[in-house]
Each structure stands twice: as C-alpha cells, then as structure tokens.
Structure 1
Amino acid sequence: MQHRTLGKTGWQVSPIGFGAWAIGGSWGSVDDDQSFAALHKAIDLGVNLIDTADVYGDGRSERLVGQVVKERSEQVYVLSKAGRRLDPHTAEGYNRANLTAFVERSLTNLGVEAIDLVQLHCPPTDVYYQPEVFGVMDDLVAQGKLRHYGVSVERVEEALKAIEYPGVATVQIIFNMFRHRPAERLLALAQEANVGVLARVPLASGMLTGKLTKQSTFEADDHRSFNRHGEAFDRGETFSGVDYETGLEAVEELKKLCPAGLSLPQFALRWILMHDGVTCAIPGARNPSQAEQNAAAAGAEPLDAATMSAVRAVYDERIRPLVHACW
C-alpha cells in the first residue's frame, strides 16, 4: 500500500485508515471479537492509521484499539479525540484541567505512555478563536502526553481558522460524495500549511455502501435512528446531513457511474483519494470483510475526468442545495 505524509507529523500513513467509531458504539450491536478481527485484518493489509475517540462507547473503542496495537509489531499510528465528554458541551469546558483529564483517561484506555495524536473533538466554534486552548495542547505535547495534536471539525470555516495555529498538525472533516465543499478551498490551504487532512464519514453513514433501502431499519442505539435531525449531536454527522430519501435517490445515480471491478463503497473511497489534499480516508469496519473491502480501495485505478465530472453533476443536482452552505 502506498503512503502519504500526514502533515507536520511527517508520518507516512496509508491512504485508507480505520475509523473506530462503529466498534465503540452508536451504530447498533457490536461484537468485540469481530471488531478485533476487523482491526487485525486492516493491519494485515497495510493500514497503519486508526482513528478513535474517548466517547466512542465511553472508552470501549480506545481499549479495543489499544489491545490490538499491543499485539502487533508493525508501526500503527493511533489518533484519539478529546472534548465531547463535556456535559454541557461548551467552549468554556475546553480548559486546561478538563483537557488534561481527558488525555490522561485516554492514555489509560489505550495503555500507552504517549498518544500519537489527539484531536479536539468538534468543539463549539468559539474554541477556534481561543488561542489559550491551543496553548494547552502545545503544553500537553511538551509534557510528553501526546506527540502531536489536531482538530476534528464540523464546518469548513472552523478548519480554516484551526490551520492558522502552528501546532495543528491535522484536520479531520466530513468529505465524501455527498459533501464536496472542503475541496473548494480547504484542501489546498491545508496543503500550503502542511496540515494533514483526514476524511471522516467517507461513506455517509453507510448510505454510500449502496446497501440501504427504504425498508432498512436501525437499532435504537444507532445514531442513524436517533440523530436524523441532530437530536443528539450535529445533524451533519448522520448521512452527511442529507435526508434519507434524497440520499437513496442520489445513490441510485452514483451506482450507474461505478467503474467495473469496484464496489460502490470502493468507488466512494477512491473518489475521496483523487483529491491531492486528502491524506487519509477513515471508513469504519465492524468485520474483516468490510476492512478488506475498504483497504482494497487504496489500490484501485484512478478515476477518469468524465467520472469525476459525473459525480459532481449528481452532487450539484441533488445534494448541493441541501448541504453545501451548511457545513
């Protein structure tokens, strides 16, 4: 698997990573044995970046990831997040005491002396205008609790502000066939600032797998059931903010564009990797088969210009009016 440089970290990382939200919770029932197997399969196939967070299953995801990495001899970079344990989730909560406590809890969950990279976890917009918060993160690096830090954002504007801080090594943002806006300015500016970009929710909460239908149902503890309209967290996290029926219609159009030899999710992942400013896409996987399918997208042939234009046309017609100005 070829590698890309993850911004200021200098790390050479696989263009397909492993998003560990689903193995922690909020996606229905989770089988830890299958989660372990999925993580091991991904590493077997050359994936060397895993993205988790302290709130994914209240530490469950971090503990699973930490255990798997300990069992491997390969260099695997583990990224976590801090901030969403705050209740209420306010800008004032992003202070030295809280951030330090969150990081120390993640150190315990992961079973490490230093976390490779910690991201502020979709904080309120005001946080990006508080240099002291980023100063705390600089101090945590200096103390050896983490090696680098970055941000996970909801909006392009937040990312543009975040990359002004010299210590920010990475930006994680929703970028997929249903969310094109980061490509307009952010990707190029992040490259100029030597900031790595992680594309999260790359399959639009499973919509871009092509497996969902009007009859699909979701368990009560699955965010695709309880967060359709932003009841629990930002609406854009679920199906990328696109209403379910519209998403299904757009997927039918995208299926017609899928190159021979690729599954729809591989097509969706390869589309993301066609953008030079993206370092790594981080799809989730809850079993080895999904991990294998995801990893294979890294080696797929580049998409031609006509296909890229056709994907853009589907977005412009069906999705842009609904989401482009929102995030």
Structure 2
Amino acid sequence: MQYKKYGKTGKDISVIGFGGMRFSKQGDGYDYDKCAEIVIKARQLGVNYFDTAPNYCEDNSELIMGHAFKSMEKGFYVSTKSSQKDGSKLRAQLELSLKRMNLEKVNFFHIWCILSMDDYRSRMVKGGAYETALRAKEEGLIEHIVFSTHCNGDEIETIVNEADFEGMTVGYNILNFPFRQKGLQAAYKKGLGVATMNPLGGGLIPQKADYFDFIRSSGDRTVVDAALRFNASHDEITTVLAGMSSVEEVVQNCKIGDNLKKLEEKKLKEIEGMLFNSMDKLCTGCRYCEHCPKKIPVSKYMLSYNNKILKNEQEVLNNLNGHWGIPPSGVKECIECGICEGKCTQHLPIISRLKEIGVWEDTL
C-alpha cells in the first residue's frame, strides 16, 4: 500500500481509505462478525484510515468499526463526524462515538456535511460546533478538527482560508471534479489533508461501465480501477474513501493502492474533453434528501433521473418500475416545500425533476 502525508499533521495515510457507509445487511440486521472481517482484511492489506459516522448503515457503522478495532493492532486512524450545530449536542454525539468504538480519542473529527456558506457560518458561532470541538481537542478527545462539505470550489476556498481546519472530506470524482477542483487546490495550498468520498459517483460509474469506459487507461482492468486511480493520482488528495461491502472488494481496491501510477496529463485532458456540463448534475445517491413530509422516496426518483441525463426519459420510468418497484405517479404527491432541495448535497433542482417525471408518465 502506498501512503501520503495528511497535510501538516505528519501522519502517513493509505491512499485507499475505508469508507464505512456500505456494509451490507444479512437478513433483518447486520452480522457484526462478518462486517468486521471486511474491516480487518483492509487493515491487513495496508489500509490505515477508517471513516465512519453516526447514522451510517442504519446507525450500525460505528458499532461495526468498534467491533473490528478490538481485533486490530494499533497504527490505524479513525475518522468520524457530527452534523450537530448546537455545542452540547455535538459533545454528546462525540462521547457516544468514542464509547461505541472503544476509543480514547478520534483522530479526525469532522464538522459534518456543510452544505452552504450560511450553514458553515452557523457551525462557527460562539458555543457552536467548532468551538465545542476545539475544547474537546484541548481535552485530548479529538486529535485533528476537519470538515466535510458538498459546497462548490469557490465556497470551499473561502472555508479553507477563513477557518483553522487541518483537513477536509469532499465528494470528488470523474463526474464532478470541475465543480470542486478550485477548493481542492486551495486546501492543498494551505496544507490541509484531503479525503475524497463518492469516488465512484455513488455507484453510477460502475453501473454505467460501458458509457464511462473512456476513463480507462492501459493497466486499468475496470472502470472502477480507473475511477479510483483518477482520484488517487491527484497530488492534492491524500486518501480515496472506497465503500467496501465484501472482502473481494477490499482486495480489488487495495490493488490500486499497491500499484498507483499517476494519470498522464494527456489522459486527464482527454477525460476533461469528454465531460459535459450536465454530468455535474447527476445524483450520487447520498440520501440526504430523504426528509419528505409526504414520504416520497426522493433519492430513488433522483437516481432514476440520472438515466435521463445519460439515456432517455423512458429509461427513467423503466428504472423506477423495474429497479425500485415504485410508481412514477408518486411524484405527484410533491407539495414543493423545498426541504429536499435544501438538504441536497449536489444542489439539484429536485422539484422540477419530479415534475418532469410526472409528465413523462402521462405522455410516454
């Protein structure tokens, strides 16, 4: 496994990190022993950065990680998060995370999921999230305060330059890199470590492997290999978080970290030339939009809408019926309250897309 320095922290971090959001259920629940085997295998193959969060995997991810950590020798680093703005609530969540994972401290603690500049500033107020995290760091409960964001490049640049964070986690992949590239460069220039999430576009890249085959270079066995290598080859990126739900996936992804060769500039320009503006408008399936008061499964509709961008309207309806088993007519329950758009990490025009789907059902 190859390693990079995480900003100015002095820590050597594996270029492939373990994303703890993709553990699979067995029946009605999670088999902690089997899930822990996946984590332990990653450590054996050189992964030393393990990223988790409250609520991942129906609030089981931290517990699974803690179960695995009991069988792992020291030498790895743990990342977790809190989206709480209220200081006392963030402190309570931090203490619960430490208890769940049986840790004395969190190595990388994220001010989690900053969606806008207003959201960012609300975390920085007196008695708020950042100040509380800073006190916890002084007590030794946190080693490094970092942040997670879905803002655009200009916004990220402002956050990096205004605040005293030591690193960040950001959604970055072959589909959206022009959208956040400026922020990535700003973080690197200031000496922040950078972890990237969603390197496979929420699964869309492997699902549309034929379409995205142009990103492969010689030596890339699959589009997945190419997408991971695209991120890992950036000087600005310390570690690429790959969600792994099986030992086989761990082995495949770790091979990228073992044999990393940077993309040539010519290949990068070729990829850039084939991208088009709408590709930054694809849903990555993060599911933050699922707060609909009418119980509309918004993320499923938006993931299906990706087929409109990549294929056609009929494929959207086919995906809804065949893959998700939900009726296109469900979009007509939308009351346009805007909650989903406020939560959307990609800032997608969800309401108008739902309306489009409703029209297609009537006309196709």
Give the structure-1-normalised TM-score: 0.77
Specify the alignment match of 2:133 in structure 1.
137
Residue type of the partner of 2:139? Q
Alignment check: 8 A CA contact 1:174 1:202 kept: yes
Among candidates 177, 187, 192, match of residue 195 of structure 1: 192
1:254 corresponds to 2:212: yes
After TM superposition, list the pairs within 5 Å mapping 1:256-275 onto structure 2.
256-262=214-220, 263-275=222-234
Specify the alignment match of 2:105 in structure 1.
114
Alignment check: 8 A CA contact 1:175 1:201 kept: yes
Among candidates 272, 288, 291, match of residue 247 of structure 2: 288
Specify the alignment match of 1:304 in structure 2.
264
Alignment check: 8 A CA contact 1:24 1:60 kept: no
Alignment check: 8 A CA contact 1:94 1:127 kept: no
Deviation at 1:37, TM superposition (A): 2.0
SS of 2:103's partner is coil
The whole-number CA distance in structure 2 between the counterparts of 1:321 and 1:208 is 14
Alignment check: 8 A CA contact 1:80 1:118 kept: yes
- Quick one: structure 1 residues 165 and 145, their matched pair in 2 at CA, closer, same or farther if it must change by over 3 Å? farther
The whole-number CA distance in structure 2 between the counterparts of 1:119 and 1:191 is 18
Alignment check: 8 A CA contact 1:24 1:59 kept: no
Specify the alignment match of 2:310 in structure 1.
none
Alignment check: 8 A CA contact 2:5 2:11 kept: yes
The whole-number CA distance in structure 1 between the counterparts of 2:347 and 2:252 is 31
Deviation at 1:326, TM superposition (A): 4.8
Deviation at 1:44, TM superposition (A): 1.1
The whole-number CA distance in structure 1 between the counterparts of 2:24 and 2:101 is 13
Deviation at 1:122, TM superposition (A): 0.6
Q: RMSD of the TM alignment (CA)?
A: 2.5
1:177 corresponds to 2:174: yes
- Quick one: structure 1 residues 7 and 41, their matched pair in 2 at CA, closer, same or farther if it must change by over 3 Å? same
- Quick one: structure 1 residues 195 and 106, their matched pair in 2 at CA, closer, same or farther if it must change by over 3 Å? same
SS of 1:63's partner is helix
After TM superposition, list the pairs within 5 Å mapping 1:75-154 onto structure 2.
75-83=75-83, 94-125=85-116, 126-130=118-122, 131=124, 132=126, 133=128, 134-154=130-150
Comparing 11-20 with 32-41, which one deviates more in the overlay? Answer: 32-41
5+ residue gaps, structure 1:
84-92, 213-247
Specify the alignment match of 2:42 in structure 1.
42
Deviation at 1:260, TM superposition (A): 3.8
Give the structure-2-normalised TM-score: 0.69
Per-residue CA deviation, residues 90-121 of structure 1 (Å, 9 max, x unaligned), is: xxx51221111110110111111211121022
Deviation at 1:261, TM superposition (A): 3.6
Tell me: higher relative CO, structure 1 or 2? Use CA pairs within 8 A at least 6 residues apart. 1
Identity in percent = 23
Specify the alignment match of 2:279 in structure 1.
319
- Quick one: structure 1 residues 182 and 274, their matched pair in 2 at CA, closer, same or farther if it must change by over 3 Å? farther
SS of 2:56's partner is coil
Deviation at 1:140, TM superposition (A): 1.2
- Quick one: structure 1 residues 59 and 110, their matched pair in 2 at CA, closer, same or farther if it must change by over 3 Å? farther
Specify the alignment match of 2:321 in structure 1.
none
Residue type of the partner of 1:106? S
SS of 1:75's partner is coil
Comparing 283-292 with 185-194, which one deviates more in the overlay? Answer: 185-194
Deviation at 1:306, TM superposition (A): 2.9
Deviation at 1:310, TM superposition (A): 2.1
The whole-number CA distance in structure 1 between the counterparts of 2:103 and 2:226 is 36
Alignment check: 8 A CA contact 1:159 1:171 kept: no
Alignment check: 8 A CA contact 1:24 1:61 kept: no
Deviation at 1:166, TM superposition (A): 4.9
**How many residues align structurally?**
276
Residue type of the partner of 2:101? L
Residue type of the partner of 2:260? A
Specify the alignment match of 1:276 in structure 2.
235
Alignment check: 8 A CA contact 1:253 1:314 kept: no
Greater radius of gyration (CA):
2
